[in-house]
Amino acid sequence: MRNSEMEKLQGLVGEWTTTLSDAWFLEPPGTEIAGTTKITWLGESMLAMHTGLGEGDDYSETTIVIGRSDPNDEYSVLYQDDRGVCRRFEMTFDGTRWTMSREDPDFHQRFIGEVEKDRVRGRWEASEDEGTTWRKDFDLTFERA
């Protein structure tokens, strides 16, 4: 039987075209990187999100696993990428707003996404001063494939 709180994420399941844009680290300004994202169920109580962006030597992959602690009434996210980076995020999702955030010693980071039926418009932000000020890293848009 599927976890009822995880069932609220069903609208994210599927295949998406993904665009990374407006990144401070990409030159020239206006550069966009295309990719794909696939979100699938892992059993009845977790989701796996696999994203590939770019091509050739500039190709990168990330994997996110979304789960939940029922006793604590909270979602939790594990993130890893092909650089060997591993992170844990807290997550909220109310059907129209999706957030992931972490407050770790190296820096604070958050994703803020506006969820529509066939589109998620999101942005990743970072803070080097424990959340006092934030800079946008990049926009990340998902369009249902």
Can you give the residue ranges of every domain in the chain?
4-144
Q: How many other CB atoms are there within 10 angstroms of residue 68's CB atom?
A: 20
pLDDT at residue number 10: 96
Could you tell me the pTM of the whole model? Answer: 0.94
pLDDT at residue number 1: 86
Q: How is residue 85 annotated by DSSP?
A: -
> Could you give the CA distance from residue 36 to residue 14 in angstroms, rounded to a whole number?
11
Please report, to the nearest 10 degrees, the dihedral formed by the alpha carbons of residues 144, 63, 6, 96 taken in order. Answer: -50
Q: Which residue has the tokens 């977790």?
A: 46
* pLDDT digit string, tens, across residues 22-71: 999 999 989 999 999 999 999 999 999 999 999 999 999 999 999 999 99
Q: 3-class DSSP state for residue 57?
A: helix
Residue type, 82: D
Domain topology for 4-144: Lipocalin (2.40.128)
Q: How many other CB atoms are there within 10 angstroms of residue 125's CB atom?
A: 15
Q: How many other CB atoms are there within 10 angstroms of residue 78's CB atom?
A: 14
Residue count of the chain: 145
CA dihedral (19, 32, 27, 59) positive or negative: positive
Q: Give the helix ranges, DSSP H, for the chain.
A: 4-7
